[in-house]
Structure 1
Amino acid sequence: MDFDLTAEQEQLRAAVRALGNRYGHEYFVAKARAGEHTTELWAEAGKLGYLGVNVPGEHGGGGGGITELAIVAEELAAAGCPLLLLVVSPAIAATVIARHGTQQQRERFLPGFADGSLKVAFAITEPEAGSNFHRLGTVARRDGAGWVLSGRKCFISGVDEARYVLVVARIAEEAGPAAKGPGTGTGPAAPRLKPALFVVPTDAAGLTSSKLDMEIVSPENQFLLYLDDVRLPADALVGGPDSGLPALFSGLNPERITVAAMSAGTARYALERAGRYTATRKVWGGRTIGAHQGVAHPLAHAAVQVELARLMVYKAAALYDAGRDVEAGVAANMAKYAATEASALAVDTAIQSLGGNGMTTEYGVATLLGAVRAGRIAPVSREMILNFVAQHVLDQDRSY
């Protein structure tokens, strides 16, 4: 059992930390307040190879895995720059294309993921179905040699920055004859819909978006998407007609792991700010406020929760990179739960320890409140993770 990163991974951590610290939380907040994107940070991270660490080497990437991408996500967040598009584009979209795309799709898209020049959004969530792919209303139907997509999506990140959207839809599966028996007849059964993923250009005819106003300080925006008979060529389908479900799951575990890593990094940032303040702040000529257990113990408790979550993050990443997908699925869900809970606790505790200063923009912790609260909801809610653990770890019956 080895809890240490490799020398190369440690070097990556130090390099990303240095990059993040050159930009910092003030840059992140200023971009968000101005309605701008973190274009400079993203471009430099891409140029240095940090955005493509998990892309295969033959396509220009670093040849690493989700462990390396988790390091990047955590360290940028620990510098006060939690980039959600790291989760969406390199973690989800690049992984799906690398593992399940055709050779032509890998050659077309992966070099752009590798150098950060390509951003791809991910669209699964719908107003009625949430992220339950069994209930998705977005449907793709064949149209000659191509496809036509129709449906709606919500809470889709980064559409205004992306060149493509990886859309989860359902396609009609060829139906066989109905089972014979009294009253069943022998006609064909109704077609069954199964998941499929499509790469849709953001400028495609019929694809429109509407920005959602969010109570989150972030340079990355959320959108409603409308697909009104969006026509696509045959090669827009990722892999083939039977690739949808495995492709979808191959992207969801990296999503949870990198969200967890980003959450852990955000928690570290908040605790570092709070620790620095409480170790130097003195009142009434006495000792620092951090010398009082009423201040120090809540911070120490949060620090313990964050470190436990980080262990789960890198266990999940190691399992995923080892190809142990079933175990990685359990670990990824646990990591996401633990890290987002720890992050919300750390930010709230940091604000409380700073008193009134904790609510100011200057001290840089209250600006994270919306994001860490949203992390307990998306990309999968804490309640659904508890359902998953109850069913798959504790062998309990489904409650829904």
Structure 2
Amino acid sequence: MTQLHDDLASASSRRAAAVAAARLIAASARRTQQELDVDGAFPAAEVRALAEHGLLAAPLPVRWGGAGLLERDGSKALALVLSAIGAGSLPLGRLYEGHVNAIGLILAYGRIEQQEMFAAKSREGHLFAVWNTQREPGVRLAAQGAGWRLQGAKIFASGAGFVRYPLITARTEAGDLLMVIPDAANARVDLSQWRAHGMRASASGAVDFSDLGVGDDSIIGGPDDFHRQPMFSTGAWRFAAVQYGAVASLFDLARAHLVKADRAGDPHQLARLGAAAIAVETARLWVFEAATRSHGSGDPAASVAYVNLARLAVERAGLEALELAHRSVGLAAFLRPHPIERLSRDLATYLRQPAPDEALCEAANFLVTSPRPIAEIWENEDAPD
């Protein structure tokens, strides 16, 4: 067998192992979600399990000990991993999706020595994150000697106090937006402002990086690489995959409740279950197609438009599934400790991703300005099988 075949076989087996591990960890996370449903909680045991089963390293190329989940032919496996974890725990899925996002940015824009350094930290069990949200004036970078000094804070940072090497955005005195990976061990963390009714186990909060020094080895890429298309938009399919997993889990919980209550045979309940099944499958189809389209080698604008539509389609499917589950189960779905009550709060919160109207309008504008019939716009895109 040639080296190429050896590498392909290794990647395939590692991806299968990653999917199996994700499902195992999701089953464990599902059992601990109720006790973690408190402000400031963090799924530490589950994150350790992600490290122990190789999932923190799985987005890396095979040559660096990963499974190549971020590569073109790894997209289906990554979609399965993300949706499996999302089905078990949305907070855990949010944290893992952020880790994958950070690794992807490092691999795309980092220098080879930076890629190798942070790949080693990932293999060591470090969880990464991408923290971009901030209040003005945000995080700034001031030149200091041979390096830089940070000033300012990020908000709504998931994994605050637990992520040692977050990828954050910061603006220089000249106005350039750069990606920075500081050592956050000495950053000041405040979890008191995260009082959302859902996603309580994500340890989300404000992180103040003021007076932390960083060197050039912590600067990833160049000015405004963070917003560079198509990567900035096409990566959105990954959080949609986590959401899809939760939508599917919601269906399973509602069905189990109706069966246990001997109400599943009612024609009205059957109609709602049928409609919910359509919503679940709609989300799945969009997610897996968007995963492959995000690696398409055709028109990048077409890929961005498709993923933008996918994230909105999954949001709509999630909202519909929530309404149908609540109608079917009734008041019990709003009473703790029913698992639908917690999952509903987590899903409703996580579905609120930034700039949905902008994403929809950008996709629609692409369609308006395209001279081709809509049936032909994506059918000839060079997306992997």
1:20 and 2:26 equivalent? yes
Matched letter for residue 59 of structure 1 = W
Kept in 1, the 8 Å contact 2:167–2:182? The answer is: yes
- How many Å apart are 1:373 and its aligned residue? 1.9
How far did residue 315 of structure 1 move? 1.4
TM-score relative to the length of structure 1 = 0.78
The Cα of 1:60 is off from its aligned counterpart by: 1.3
Q: How does 1:69-108 map to 2 (within 5 A)?
A: 69-80=78-89, 82-83=91-92, 84-90=94-100, 92-108=101-117
The answer to whether the aligner puts 1:55 opposite 2:65 as a matched pair is no
What do residues 303-337 of structure 1 show as CA deviations (whole Å, max 9, x unaligned)?
A: 21221121111112112234555433222222221
Name the CA distance, whole Å, in 2 between partners of 1:195 and 1:80: 33
Q: 1:80 to 1:299 in 2, by over 3 A?
A: farther
Q: What residue is the counterpart of 1:377 in the other structure?
A: 352
Q: Distance in 1 between matches of 2:138 and 2:35?
A: 38
CA distance in 2, matches of 1:8, 1:108: 22
> Residue 350 of structure 1: CA displacement?
1.7
Percent identity, please. 21
Shift of residue 274 of structure 1?
0.9
Name the aligned partner's letter for residue 214 of structure 2. Answer: L
Deviation at 1:266, TM superposition (A): 0.4
Query: Is 2:274 the partner of 1:264?
Result: no
Give me the CA root mean square deviation: 2.7
Q: How far apart, CA to CA, are the structure 2 residues paired with 1:275 and 1:74? A: 19
Contact 2:233–2:307 at 8 Å: present in 1 too?
no
Shift of 1:363: 3.0
Contact 1:305/1:342, CA 8 A, preserved across alignment: yes
Distance in 1 between residues matched to 2:352 and 2:43, nearest whole Å: 24
Specify the SS of the correspondent of 2:106.
helix
- Give 1:391's aligned residue: 365
Alignment pair present for 1:123 and 2:131: yes
Query: 1:132 matched to which residue of 2?
Result: none
8 Å contact kept, 2:138–2:154: no
> 1:372 aligns to what SS in structure 2?
helix
Give 1:150's aligned residue: 151
Partner of 1:318: 292
Residue identity opposite 2:140 in structure 1: V
1:147/1:17 CA distance change after superposition, 3 Å: same
How far 1:14 sits from its partner (Å)? Answer: 4.7
Name 1:214's counterpart in structure 2.
Answer: 196
Structure 2: distance between partners of 1:81 and 1:216 = 10
**Aligned residues, how many?**
351
Within 1, Cα distance between the matches of 2:226 and 2:148? 15
Find the residue that maps to 1:394 and give its secondary structure: helix
Q: Tell me the distance in 2 between the aligned counterparts of 1:368 and 1:88.
A: 20
Could you list the per-position Cα deviations for residues 61-100 of structure 1 after superposition, in whole angstroms to 9, with x for gaps in the alignment? 112324322211101222345521111112x110011111
C-alpha separation in 2, matches of 1:112 and 1:80: 24
Paired residue type of 1:361: R
Instruction: Return the letter of the residue paired with 2:341.
Output: A
Q: Highest Rg: 1 or 2?
A: 1
Aligned counterpart, 2:234: 253
The secondary structure found in structure 1 opposite 2:213 is strand
| TM-aligned CA distance change 1:153 to 1:274, over 3 Å | same
Once residues 7 and 111 of structure 1 are traced to their aligned partners in structure 2, the CA distance between those partners, rounded to angstroms, is 21
* Structure 1 residues 252 and 143: CA distance shift in structure 2, 3 A: farther
Change (3 A) 1:89 1:249: farther
Q: Secondary structure at the match of 2:142?
A: strand
1:330 equivalent among 276, 297, 305? 305
Please tell me whether the aligned partners of residues 276 and 324 of structure 2 are also in contact (alpha carbons under 8 angstroms).
yes
Report the equivalent of 1:177. none
Other structure's SS at 1:140 match: strand
* Distance in 1 between residues matched to 2:261 and 2:211, nearest whole Å: 61
Equivalent-residue separation in structure 1 for 2:17 and 2:165 (angstroms): 32
**Could you say which structure has the higher helix fraction?**
2
Distance 1:224 1:249, change over 3 A: farther
Distance apart, 1:241 and its partner CA: 4.9
- The letter of the residue matching 1:144 is G
| Residues 1:112 and 2:121 aligned together | yes
Say whether 1:291 aligns with 2:227: no
CA 1:8–1:59 in structure 2 vs 1: closer, same or farther (change >3 Å)? closer
> In the alignment, residue 52 of structure 1 is paired with which amino acid?
A
Q: Are the structure 2 counterparts of residues 59 and 7 from structure 1 closer, same or farther at C-alpha, using a change threshold of 3 Å?
A: closer
Task: Decide which of 173, 182, 190 is 1:200's aligned counterpart.
Answer: 182
State how far apart, in whole Å, the 1-side matches of 2:242 and 2:248 are.
10
- Choose which of 279, 286, 298 in structure 2 pairs with 1:305: 279
**Is contact 1:55–1:61 with CA below 8 Å preserved after alignment?**
yes
The one-letter code sitting in structure 2 at the alignment partner of 1:329 is V
